[in-house]
Structure 1
Amino acid sequence: MADSLPFLAGQLAGSVAPETAKRLGKLMRLTNSYYSNHIEGQYIEPAELSQRIKRREAKELGLLAITHIQTQEAFERVLDRRSSEITWSDMFGVNLLKSFHRRLFVGAKDADLRVNEGRLMAPGRLRDESQENVVVGGHYAPAWEVVTPMLNRLQQVYGSANDPRSQLLASMAYHHRLAFVHPFEDGNGRVVRMATHLQLARIGLGSSLWSISRGLARKQDEYYARLSAADQGRRGDLDGRGQLTQAGLVEFVRFMLSVCKDQIQYTREAMAMPILRERLARIVQFEPRFIRAGIKPEGARAVYLLIIQGEVTRADFKAYFNLHDKTAANQLKELLLLGVVEAPSPKSRDLYPGFPVWFAQLLFPDLHRRFP
């Protein structure tokens, strides 16, 4: 499976126009945040989250769902701009983990920072700095004294992988081992999933087109069960050389690879041309927002071609309707108001596809859903 994932991810990336992928990236950051917080038992409906982001009020910016989006975007931008400088080993650095945690929890409400005995967790502080041991469910995390040495050892082992296949497997295994160490008093799940997303992005597998957190939320019970199984001690003399079970870790890696494959295939199927064209036709015909806006059936074809191409001129887009110029102009105006078409300015020459949450949820079935 590790050999097929790069091929599937490459197929997906090659099938989506760059400008469309760029705009889907905003949607998938929100999706990652929604599901990563969903796994932690916190729910904010995506449509509401989207509106809160736009308001950018101080009381909104401390919401963990919003800081997750901002953190992912910030680190993706750094990766993109400094890809030649950032080594694979850097992706496992202790300071990077502390930066993730600090950015995710900076400005958080006291209720989200409160840990044992009513104390407030300091964002970015490791357990060996706070000198705290923790028990999560039935998992007794390693003693605080060994947190940094263990993190350094994980970087040494998994950061030394030097080919894409080995790096993929290293990222999947590190996901469990980092969760096992439990380096922070709280918030470790969010940090671990952020690290995995960015590691996959670093090797060209993680992208703006699919969400690993969505896949983990869909199989949350199995996710936790696989994590727990890999926490166990060796099952005998043939089960690896360390203290923890190697067989359990291998099973966890296989599970993670299957989650990645499932989510890549989900987006590939949703973006397949025949399916996309038929779904858009039904959306334009039956969705009340399009009906109230008076969008004609020809609008489905115009939006479909815009999504496929990623960027078209205003003149070409109106021509897609094959209607009188004034009618086509009015249709474009309504689509702009709906947010399904975007323009940098009222008179800009070029147009781009838009994916407001309500539209994306119609275009991608079950994109945002509360999985049991």
Structure 2
Amino acid sequence: MPPISQKFALYSHPSEMEPLLPGEHRLGPLLEQAHDLMRSGGRLAGMCQPEALRGLRSQLRAMHSYYSNKIEGQHTLPAEIEQALRNDYASDADKARRQRLALAHMATEASMEVHLPQWDWAAVWSPRMLQDIHQDLFARLPADDRRLSAQEDPLHPGQLRSQQVSVGRHAAPDAGKLPAFLQRWSQFYASTRRGELQVLAAAASHQRLAWIHPFRDGNGRVARLHTHLVLSHLGLTNGTWSLLRGFARSHDAYYAHLAAADEARAGDLDGRGSRTERGLEHWIAYVLGLCLDQVQFMTELLALEGMRERIAACLAYEEQVVRQGVRHEALRALHYLFATQGELERADFKAMLGLGDRLATAQVSALLKRGLLDSDSPYGRLRFGVPQHALRFYFPRLWPEAEVQ
């Protein structure tokens, strides 16, 4: 991060990042957006059996890590992420570093999902949570991967920055005052109690956390992971969508809206705080619009009436082009797993194939080998699998970069 310029004055008091939410007179349209998001998110959450979505969630974590790397200008191809998951890293040192970073993101996101039920609203908003996310993410990387340059010391996971920084036109708050800024950020957003207002808090807090810039590096990654955590805690994502995809697919708008909300108040009609109220309002509207787009997109993809045809197309490709033993007779059983059951005993799945025992056993093996079925053990119950190579059939346009490969 570049050193602070002398032309910038350091922020030293938390009041200098006000407002943390727009005033009451500006909240109406935003609360309507939040209400629509809560209603749409709830409808999406009830569309599929949780077990049927485990394979999808795994692919979504890979996609999120890909998009987070892309936002940071540290591009990693979907195939390279899949290779890293098999412990197959590139010979190029920089590519391997980006692969490790992608896997660290996936592991941190998975860890947050596991621990989510244990955390209350106050814990989610605590400064400690931000440091824990930073710690979890960067402690998974070797020291050399945490160096910003060959001349600098490695980044210390979970540690607040001790130096002054500027990002573009924004000089971040005085490093010595960071605890006060983070405490104000935490107390304000944790105090939101109304459902729709909590959604607005999730959006606004992302911008203000980026403005505080609490870490030497990794601030964008932590802010995005934390916003994902808050939306998940509110029961809006159910592991089926993420704002990260929306941010990455509107990359320029993401940074433009962040920067616009950094600006100082523009006169008496722009709120009463130090920062622009209008800019924060536009940022929140942008975030909620992205959320609604992502929910609508996933709702269309998870519609049961379309999934049967998409599974059939995948099986036809497997049978006629790949030719590794997958047969079209698997359609009814796979669709049943996805649509209703979530998991099946192997004997029950084989019975639905309508094949003899030997052919049914071979078919289960072929589906497992291709990732179209998933199981926790060699004889365990079967789940609907979503390998990366099937995304273009099952969930077209979800991750276009993976489809190309």
> What TM-score results when the alignment is normalised by the length of structure 1?
0.89
CA spacing shift, 1:164–1:351, aligned 2, 3 Å: same
1:318 is aligned to 2:350? yes
Alignment partner of 2:138 out of 105, 115, 118? 105
CA spacing shift, 1:345–1:121, aligned 2, 3 Å: closer
1:152 is aligned to 2:152? no
1:186 is aligned to 2:201? no
The corresponding residue for 2:121 is 88
Give the AA of the match of 1:74. S
Matched residue SS, 1:15 = coil
Contact preservation (8 Å) 2:319, 2:325: no
The corresponding residue for 1:330 is 362
Alignment partner of 1:215 out of 223, 227, 246? 246
Contact preservation (8 Å) 1:38, 1:370: no
1:368 is aligned to 2:399? yes
CA shift for structure 1 position 188: 0.5
CA shift for structure 1 position 162: 1.1
Alignment partner of 2:66 out of 34, 50, 61? 34
CA spacing shift, 1:290–1:299, aligned 2, 3 Å: farther
Give the AA of the match of 1:139. H
Contact preservation (8 Å) 1:47, 1:358: no
Find the aligned partners of 1:136 and 1:364 in 2 and give their Cα distance. Answer: 37
CA shift for structure 1 position 227: 0.6
CA shift for structure 1 position 113: 2.6
Matched residue SS, 2:202 = helix
CA offset digits 1:205-240 (Å, max 9, x no partner): 133111211111111111111111111111221212
CA offset digits 1:132-184 (Å, max 9, x no partner): 11122332222223322111111121110012211111111000000011111
CA shift for structure 1 position 53: 2.8
Alignment partner of 1:201 out of 214, 217, 232? 232
List aligned pairs for 1:193-342, cutoff 5 A. Answer: 193-287=224-318, 291-308=322-339, 309-342=341-374
Give the AA of the match of 2:122. S
The corresponding residue for 2:28 is none
CA shift for structure 1 position 370: 4.9
CA spacing shift, 1:116–1:338, aligned 2, 3 Å: closer
CA spacing shift, 1:25–1:223, aligned 2, 3 Å: same
CA offset digits 1:232-289 (Å, max 9, x no partner): 1112212122111111111111111111111112221111112111111112212478
CA spacing shift, 1:370–1:186, aligned 2, 3 Å: farther
CA offset digits 1:317-361 (Å, max 9, x no partner): 22333334433332222112112112333333x211112222234
Of residues 23-32 and 286-295 in structure 1, the stretch that sits farther from structure 2 once superposed is 286-295
Q: Unaligned regions of 5+ residues in structure 2, if any?
A: 1-32
Find the aligned partners of 2:165 and 2:218 in 1 and give their Cα distance. Answer: 12
Find the aligned partners of 1:185 and 1:330 in 2 and give their Cα distance. Answer: 54
CA spacing shift, 1:339–1:149, aligned 2, 3 Å: same
Of residues 205-214 and 100-109 in structure 1, the stretch that sits farther from structure 2 once superposed is 100-109
Give the AA of the match of 1:353. F
Query: Share of identical aligned residues, percent?
Result: 39
Find the aligned partners of 1:8 and 1:168 in 2 and give their Cα distance. Answer: 13
Contact preservation (8 Å) 1:115, 1:185: no
The corresponding residue for 2:54 is 22
Find the aligned partners of 2:361 and 2:131 in 1 and give their Cα distance. Answer: 51
The corresponding residue for 1:168 is 199
Give the AA of the match of 2:57. G
Give the AA of the match of 1:76. E
Alignment partner of 2:172 out of 132, 141, 149? 141
Q: How many residues are matched?
A: 362
Higher relative contact order (CA 8 A, sep 6+): 2
Find the aligned partners of 1:220 and 1:103 in 2 and give their Cα distance. Answer: 25
Alignment partner of 1:121 out of 139, 155, 172? 155
CA spacing shift, 1:287–1:136, aligned 2, 3 Å: farther
CA spacing shift, 1:298–1:288, aligned 2, 3 Å: closer
Matched residue SS, 2:383 = strand
CA spacing shift, 1:109–1:292, aligned 2, 3 Å: farther
Aligned alpha-carbon RMSD (Å): 2.4
> What TM-score results when the alignment is normalised by the length of structure 2?
0.83
Matched residue SS, 2:323 = helix
Contact preservation (8 Å) 1:115, 1:121: no
